[in-house]
A and B are shown apart, each in its own frame.
Chain A
Amino acid sequence: MTGFVDLHVIPRVDDKQSCQRMAELLHLAGYSAVALALPTGLLRDRVTSLGRLFEDVGIGTVSRVDLTANSRSDLLKLLRRFRTLYDVVAVKCANQVVASVACRDRRVDLIYFDPANPKVRFGHQLASMLRGAVEFNVISTFLGETRKEIFSRVAKEAAVAREHGSKIVLSSGCWSPVAVRSPLQISAIGASIGLSREQCAQGVREVPLSIIQRNQERRSRLFVEEGVKIVTLKQR
């Protein structure tokens, strides 16, 4: 897998036409892979057929789950249940406690924040604990009527991430064909909120790719544990 990756695409599972159009536009925009955030209860057949829609136009897909919890124990329970089932695990931080657990837990690939939620924000303390990456969903956050408070908040979070050299993923969070944007645009919006050019370029390519590759390796049957894998299989 190479090229640009959008780690947060939310297709409308009940609208096949919309999914088809999204897939075509994502391909036109230059993406080579996307992470599909699908409802956790969706039947496996539906997931496969949705994935095939994207793969038919030349886009690789991986599965993603967005976890939301209100307490530490809820989050740990959800991680135990879903970590092995999905390629990418993201946590939407609803409060400071959940955010600090998500930052420290190595099973979490991405954390992201709701810019409209004043209870929690990505500050220096979280940035210093972060083991995964912080995600900015630039399209779903800024599209439409946005207030200056949201811009200012996201810019502050970007400044913290820049200062600590945190891993950053720039995603669209697109939910319909009209919200699809090219990696150039996503990267440009990242630069306009104050991220460095290097972080923006890595946020749409290297960082998401490394997350996908690491997790695919972890989920392969040759993987034993961190740093240990089966190199050759004995023929029986």
Chain B
Amino acid sequence: MRKRYLLVKAICERPLSLQLFEAALISSVRGLFGDFGLARIDPKIVRFDASSLEAVIACNGERAEDLQAAIGLISDTAQSKMGALTLRVSGTIKGLSRKEHF
């Protein structure tokens, strides 16, 4: 199974931890596609930088578009309102830093 990697920037007024971000991500994917969809998309946070609020998320390559939709519908964490922007999508982590926008 080929993976895709997404570079995501969280937009949040308060400091954000990896646990909160992961919980918001999983809840959004589950809300939109259900448990079965969550298993098929199989999102995993590979890297998370709490200072720049950027994360690299790996997922099943065939379901990358579904993951993007779910990330787009993240609206809050347990503590505050939050949004998330997909900045880049690539087949490798290295590609995320190399690529220009889209």
Contact = CB atoms under 8 A, between A and B. Distances in A.
A28 interface: yes
Contacts of A178: 11-13, 75, 81-83
Contacts of B82: 178
A188 B65 contact: yes
Interface of A: 25, 28-30, 138-139, 142-144, 177-186, 188-189, 191-192
Contact of A192 (B32, B81, B87): B32
Nearest to A151: B32
A63 to B, nearest CB: 25
B30 interface: no
Contacts of A28: 9, 85, 87
Interface stretch (B17-25, B66-74, B90-98): B66-74
Contacts of B81: 178
Contacts of A192: 32, 65-66, 69
Interface size band for B = 20 to 34
Interface of B: 9, 11-13, 32, 65-66, 68-69, 71-73, 75-76, 81-83, 85-87, 89, 101-102
A154 to B, nearest CB: 13
Nearest to A30: B101
B72 A189 contact: yes
B69 A188 contact: yes
B87 A180 contact: no
Contact of B71 (A29, A185, A191): A185
Given A177-B11, A188-B68, A142 B73 contact: yes
A162 to B, nearest CB: 17
A186 B72 contact: yes
A233 B87 CA distance: 46
A180 B72 contact: no
B69 to A, nearest CB: 4
Contacts of A191: 65, 69
Given A28-B87, A143-B73, A182-B85, 13 more contacts: A29-B87, A142-B73, A143-B75, A178-B13, A179-B83, A180-B83, A181-B83, A182-B87, A185-B68, A188-B68, A189-B73, A191-B69, A192-B66
